[in-house]
Amino acid sequence: MERWDWTWKQPYRALDPFFYRDSEPSSVSAPTVEWLNESLIRSYDWPLEQLASSEGTRLLAGNAFGSMLQPYAQAYMGHQFGHLTMLGDGRAVTLGAVETPFGWKEWQWKGSGRTPFSRGGDGRGALGPMIREAIMSEAMHAFGIPTTRTLAVVQTGEEVHRGVPLAGGLIVRLATSHVRVGTFEYAYHYGSDERVKELANWMMQQYDSDLLETPEVALSQFLERTLERQATLIAQWQGVGFIHGVMNTDNASIVGETIDYGPCAFMDVYDADTVFSSIDHQGRYRYRNQPAIGGWNMARLLETFIPLLGATDEEGVEEAQRIASMYERFYERAWLKMFGHKIGIEATEDDRPLIEALLQLMETHKLDFTNTFRALTEQEFEEAAFETPAFQEWKRQWLARIGEKVEQAVAWMEQVNPVVIPRNSYVEEAIDEAVRGNWEDVERWLEIVREPYTKTTLNEPYRSAPHDEEPFVTYCGT
């Protein structure tokens, strides 16, 4: 890193080595940077030409990163489909935090080889899922939803074996923090109450330093803030029909960013029971369940703090329960704001029946989630379902609720109702083409998702799902 004019630090190493293990990315034989996030690079005022050079390729592939920083893999546990297990970064290593105009961002290679937590795996990634993460994370950023970002997609020039040989790939991922609920579970189950407190204090020092001004209530306020971030994030997911697919506690970011895009997808036809993941046989992480699963994950976080929240276990449990009860309020407030704006109103609890009636109409008539809200925004009702008496009555109530505040209503709706989403079959077709060597469609999608709220000639062919689309299934594929 000596030749790069960036400011780096490794604050995570201020924690006890209990929380991480030294680990370097494994060199790859013939890396090619297939996609470089030029808009992100320009927003950070980073040297684009240098990153696009052979020197940049070596850095982005993890083949060369200087001698001043020692990369590491983080330790954490995770409730995977409800079952707690030891995990850790099995195929990712973090270099450190780099300064940007938008705060410090942790630089992490994902798919970069074996680590002390690989548990027999090769630590590598298949190219297809890495492309998917790039497209999905860029879409989420453009929607205004907190997320990790993808700096680059690298084809390694090597094969990975997942039953069949696949092209290998890795990404450079940037995040505000990679600390998860599972990190606290690890501190609690493998460490001690003091380890939990150490990690919480470190998180507050890095991201919520204002809370340290009142140390007697800092832990409770830190947890309240964490719950609010998580609840708000999931309400935003619901608002764009995003289904994460694997909401395990190791995939729940403490700072409230969307992280670990595995078998995720966006809903086309509105159905609250939509689930895409091939491994989610019981539908645990279906669209309808995401808010409750977020609360469940936060309850697992709170359990690790019980000994620290009161002088006795009883007091700790009582305080944890008090904080846990706030999650639903945080979520309902964020949901009402999101879905209120989707129909052009500043919603209160009294407006819930109006919103839910629309969702019920959408489900009954199998209407497209994204396009229905866009039709409301533009007042263009082409679907036959919009001519039914039930919808006409709903529309009458809706327009009466908006009243004379039409201009404000349209402004809100245009801000939260996208014209286009990365629709599953289109994205999968683009990924398949890229793996075969043709990156044109992937590059097109990475342009399309940057302007999701604007009608363009580029996104026009992709605003609706294919009419003959089969039920879509996603795979982690890593």
Is 151 domain-assigned? Answer: yes
Q: Which residues pair with 173 in a beta bridge?
A: 108, 150
Could you give the CA distance from residue 403 to residue 276 in angstroms, rounded to a whole number?
Answer: 39
Residues 6+ away with beta carbon under 8 Å from 122: 91, 113, 114, 160, 161
Is 197 domain-assigned? Answer: no
Is 58 domain-assigned? Answer: yes
Could you give the CA distance from residue 135 to residue 264 in angstroms, rounded to a whole number?
Answer: 11
Report which of 90, 41, 31 is spatially closest to residue 62, judged by C-alpha positions. 31
The alpha carbons of the chain give a radius of gyration, in whole angstroms, of 23
Could you give the CA distance from residue 155 to residue 31 in angstroms, rounded to a whole number?
Answer: 6
CB atoms within 10 A of CB 11: 14
Is 200 domain-assigned? Answer: no
For the chain (478 residues), the mean pLDDT of every run of 10, in chain order, is 79 98 96 98 95 96 89 98 96 97 98 96 97 98 99 98 95 99 99 99 98 98 99 99 97 98 94 85 92 99 98 97 99 99 98 99 97 96 90 97 97 98 96 98 98 98 80 54
Tally the domains of the chain.
1
Is 28 domain-assigned? Answer: yes
Predicted pLDDT at 284: 92
pTM: 0.96
Predicted pLDDT at 99: 96
Is 227 domain-assigned? Answer: no
Diameter of the chain measured on Cα atoms:
70
DSSP 270: -
Is 387 domain-assigned? Answer: no
Q: Which domain holds residue 163?
A: 8-175
Q: Which contiguous run of DSSP H or E holds residue 401? A: helix 389-402
So which residues are the catalytic ones? 250
Q: Which contiguous run of DSSP H or E holds residue 154? A: strand 149-161
DSSP 262: S
**DSSP states of 81-135 as a string?**
TTEEEE---SSEEEEEEEEETTEEEEEEEESB---TT-TTS--BEEHHHHHHHHH
Predicted pLDDT at 5: 79
Predicted pLDDT at 282: 84
Which residue matches tokens 């083409």? Answer: 433
Is 75 domain-assigned? Answer: yes
Token digits of residue 321: 């329960």
**How long, in residues, is the chain?**
478
Could you give the CA distance from residue 451 to residue 96 in angstroms, rounded to a whole number?
Answer: 31
Report which of 141, 149, 140 is spatially closest to residue 173, judged by C-alpha positions. 149
